[in-house]
C-alpha cells in the first residue's frame, strides 16, 4: 500500500524574518497619520487666533526703529503676514489642493523686489515667520493636547522643510523680478541715451533724461567715441575719482559711445581720464551746454576719432584736430585738395617723396623752426631749407604766404588721413 506524503503549506516557505519589517512599516504609517492629525487639529485652532498670531509676528519682525514706520506700511506688513499664515495653514489642512503657500511665496518675492526691499529683509521675514508659527503650534498642543507633544517632535522636520521651500520660492521669484526690472531699466536708459546721441529727442526728452539718467537739461556735457573693439575698464557709470566726471556708456554695433557729465572738469581732465581707461583710439567732442546738443557733439567726436592714425591708444580732442576734422568731414574737397597740391609728388622716387613729406610735417609741427627740424631729423639746417624749397617748387605754393600755407596744411592732413576719407562719389 503506497503511502502518499503531503507537501507542507506554501506559507511555510516564507521567511518569518520579513514579518517584523512589515510591522514596523505599518507602525510608521500609523504614527505618520496620527502626527498629521495632531498637526491639523493644532493649525485649526491656530486659524481661529490669526489676528493675535499676526500681531505677534509683526512685532517680532519690526525692530525698535522700524516700529516707528508709517501706519500704512505697518498695515501692509500686517496683511502680508496674515495672508502668508493663511496659505500655510491651508496647505496643511488641504494638502491635495496644491501648495498655496509656495504660490504665495512667489508672489511675495516678486512684490518685495518691485518695492525695492532688500532680499535679507525678505529672508528674515520667513525665518521669523517660521519661528512664530511653530512656537504658536507648540503652545497650542502643550496647552490642549500635552500627551501629543512628542508628535510635534516627529513632525518638526517636515514643517521646517516646508518653510525652507517657501523661502526658496520667494528668493527665486525675487531674483527673477530683480533681473527683469534691471533689464527693463537698462533698456530704458539705452533708449533715452540713443535718442540723445542721435539728436532725435522731442520736447519730453530732457525730462526723461533727468528721470532716467539723472542729468539736468542744461549742464556741461561732452561725448566720447571709441574705436570698434576698444574695451572700457569697469565702473564706467561712476564719477571718475578726483575729477567729478561721470560717464554713461552705450555699447553699439559700430563702437562704444560715452556721454560725459563734465561737472567742473575741463577737456584736459577728460582726455587724461579716457587715456587711463581704454586701450585704443578715442575721439572727444567740445563741451556743449545743453542735452539737446549732444547729438551734434557725438558727430564732432566721431570726426575727432577719424583723425587718429596711430595704431596704439590715441585720444583726439576735436579742438586740437580742427584741420584734420575739416578734411575728413568733406571727402570730395579733401581728395581734390590732395591731388591739386601734391599731385606732382606722384612722379618722385618713393624714398624722396616720403622724406619731403616727413620734413614738411615736422616743420609745421615745430612752428616753422628749421633748426628744430634739423635736430629731430638728424640733418643739417641747410638740408631742411633745401627740402622746403623743393616742396615749394613741386606744389607751386610759398610756405611764407598765409593762403598757400593753409592749403598745404589741409592737403597734408588729407594725405595723412587718406584711409579715413571715403572715396568721392564717381571716383576720379
* pLDDT attached to residue 6: 47
pTM, two decimals, is: 0.57
Residue 131 confidence (pLDDT): 85
For residue 241, report the phi and psi dihedrals to the nearest 5 degrees.
-50, 125
Q: Give the other-Cβ count within 10 Å of 426's Cβ.
A: 6
Among 73, 155, 160, 173, residue whose Cα is nearest residue 113: 173
CA 388 to chain centre: 55
pLDDT tens for 331-378 read 888 888 888 888 888 889 989 989 999 999 999 999 999 999 999 999
Query: In 3-state terms, what secondary structure has residue 316?
Result: strand
**Which is higher by pLDDT, 144 or 249?**
249
Q: In this predicted structure, which of 260-274, 289-303, 320-334 has the lowest mean pLDDT? A: 320-334
Record the cell numbers describing residue 26, joined without a space.
505599518
Residue 289 grid cell: 551746454
Q: Of 32-41, 114-123, 229-238, 245-254, which range is least confident?
A: 229-238
Which of 19-28, 39-48, 147-156, 375-384 has the highest average model confidence (pLDDT)? 375-384
Query: From CA 191, how far away is CA 250, in angstroms rounded?
Result: 10
| pLDDT for residue 41 | 84
In DSSP terms, 41 is beta-bridged to none
Would the pLDDT of 22 be above 50? Answer: no
Q: Stretch 224-252: mean pLDDT, rounded?
A: 68
The pLDDT value recorded for residue 20 is 44
Q: Give the pLDDT band (50/70/90) at residue 26.
A: very low
Question: Is residue 277 scored above 90 in pLDDT?
Answer: no
- The model's confidence at residue 232, banded by pLDDT at 50, 70 and 90, is low
Beta-strand pair 218-226/288-290? antiparallel
SS (H, E, C) 205-235: HHHHHHHHCCCCCEEEEEEEEECCCCCECCC
Report the C-alpha gap between 281 and 250 in whole angstroms: 16
Instruction: Report the pLDDT value the prediction gives residue 303, as an integer from 0 to 100.
Output: 92
Higher pLDDT, residue 330 or 358? 358
Mean pLDDT, rounded, for 397-410: 90
Q: pLDDT at residue 42 above 60? A: yes
Nearest to 267 by CA among 248, 296, 288, 253: 288
- Residue 209 — pLDDT band, cuts 50, 70, 90? confident
Q: Which residue has the higher pLDDT, 159 or 361?
A: 361
Distance CA 388, CA 392 (A): 6
d(CA 260, CA 348): 47
Mean pLDDT of all residues in the chain?
Answer: 80
Span 13-17, average pLDDT: 47
- Per-residue confidence (pLDDT) for residue 36, from 0 to 100: 76
pLDDT-based confidence at residue 235 (cuts at 50, 70, 90): very low
pLDDT at 30 over 50: no
Does CATH number 1.10.10.2840 belong to domain 329-420? yes
Q: What is the pLDDT of residue 356?
A: 94
pLDDT at 426 over 50: no
In this structure, CATH architecture of domain 18-181: Orthogonal Bundle (1.10)
What are the percentages of helix, strand and coil residues in the chain, rounded to 5? 65, 10, 25
Residue 29 has pLDDT above 70, yes or no: no
Q: How confident is the model at residue 421 (pLDDT cuts 50, 70, 90)?
A: low
Identify which of 93-102, 111-120, 144-153, 383-392 has the greatest average pLDDT: 383-392
Cell numbers given for 18: 520579513
Does pLDDT of 423 surpass 80? no
* Residue 180: all three cell numbers together: 527683469
Amino acid at each position: 500500500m503506497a503511502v502518499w506524503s503531503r507537501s507542507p503549506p506554501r506559507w511555510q516557505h516564507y521567511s518569518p524574518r520579513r514579518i517584523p519589517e512589515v510591522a514596523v512599516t505599518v507602525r510608521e504609517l500609523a504614527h505618520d497619520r496620527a502626527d498629521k492629525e495632531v498637526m491639523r487639529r493644532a493649525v485649526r485652532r491656530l486659524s481661529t487666533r490669526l489676528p493675535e498670531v499676526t500681531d505677534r509676528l509683526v512685532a517680532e519682525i519690526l525692530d525698535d526703529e522700524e516700529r516707528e514706520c508709517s501706519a500704512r506700511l505697518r498695515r501692509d506688513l500686517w496683511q502680508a503676514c496674515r495672508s502668508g499664515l493663511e496659505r500655510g495653514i491651508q496647505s496643511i489642512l488641504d494638502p491635495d489642493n496644491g501648495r498655496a503657500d509656495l504660490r504665495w511665496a512667489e508672489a511675495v518675492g516678486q512684490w518685495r523686489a518691485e518695492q525695492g526691499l532688500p532680499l535679507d529683509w525678505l529672508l528674515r521675514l520667513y525665518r521669523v515667520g517660521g519661528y512664530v508659527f511653530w512656537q504658536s503650534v507648540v503652545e497650542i498642543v502643550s496647552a490642549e493636547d500635552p500627551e501629543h507633544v512628542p508628535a510635534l517632535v516627529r513632525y518638526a522636520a517636515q514643517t521646517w522643510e516646508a518653510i525652507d521651500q517657501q523661502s526658496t520660492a520667494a528668493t527665486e521669484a525675487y531674483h527673477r523680478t530683480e533681473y527683469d526690472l534691471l533689464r527693463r531699466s537698462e533698456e530704458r536708459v539705452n533708449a533715452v541715451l540713443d535718442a540723445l546721441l542721435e539728436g532725435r529727442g522731442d520736447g519730453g526728452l530732457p525730462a526723461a533724461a533727468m528721470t532716467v539718467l539723472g542729468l539736468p537739461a542744461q549742464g556741461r556735457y561732452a561725448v566720447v567715441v571709441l574705436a570698434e573693439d576698444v574695451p572700457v575698464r569697469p565702473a564706467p557709470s561712476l564719477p571718475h575719482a578726483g575729477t567729478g566726471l561721470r560717464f554713461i556708456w552705450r555699447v553699439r554695433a559700430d563702437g562704444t559711445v560715452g556721454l560725459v557729465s563734465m561737472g567742473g572738469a575741463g577737456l584736459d581732465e577728460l582726455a587724461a581720464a579716457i587715456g587711463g581707461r581704454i586701450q585704443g583710439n578715442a575721439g572727444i567732442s567740445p563741451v556743449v551746454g545743453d542735452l539737446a546738443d549732444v547729438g551734434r557733439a557725438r558727430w564732432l567726436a566721431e570726426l575727432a576719432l577719424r583723425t587718429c592714425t596711430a595704431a596704439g591708444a590715441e585720444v583726439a580732442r576735436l579742438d586740437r584736430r580742427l584741420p584734420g576734422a575739416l578734411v575728413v568731414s568733406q571727402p570730395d574737397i579733401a581728395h581734390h585738395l590732395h591731388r591739386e597740391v601734391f599731385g606732382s609728388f606722384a612722379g618722385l622716387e618713393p624714398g624722396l617723396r616720403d622724406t619731403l613729406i616727413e620734413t614738411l610735417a615736422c616743420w609745421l609741427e615745430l612752428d616753422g623752426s628749421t633748426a628744430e627740424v634739423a635736430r629731430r631729423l638728424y640733418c643739417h639746417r641747410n638740408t631742411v631749407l633745401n627740402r622746403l624749397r623743393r616742396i615749394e617748387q613741386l606744389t607751386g605754393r610759398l610756405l611764407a604766404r598765409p593762403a598757400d600755407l593753409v592749403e598745404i596744411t589741409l592737403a597734408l592732413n588729407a594725405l595723412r588721413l587718406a584711409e579715413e576719407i571715403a572715396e568721392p562719389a564717381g571716383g576720379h
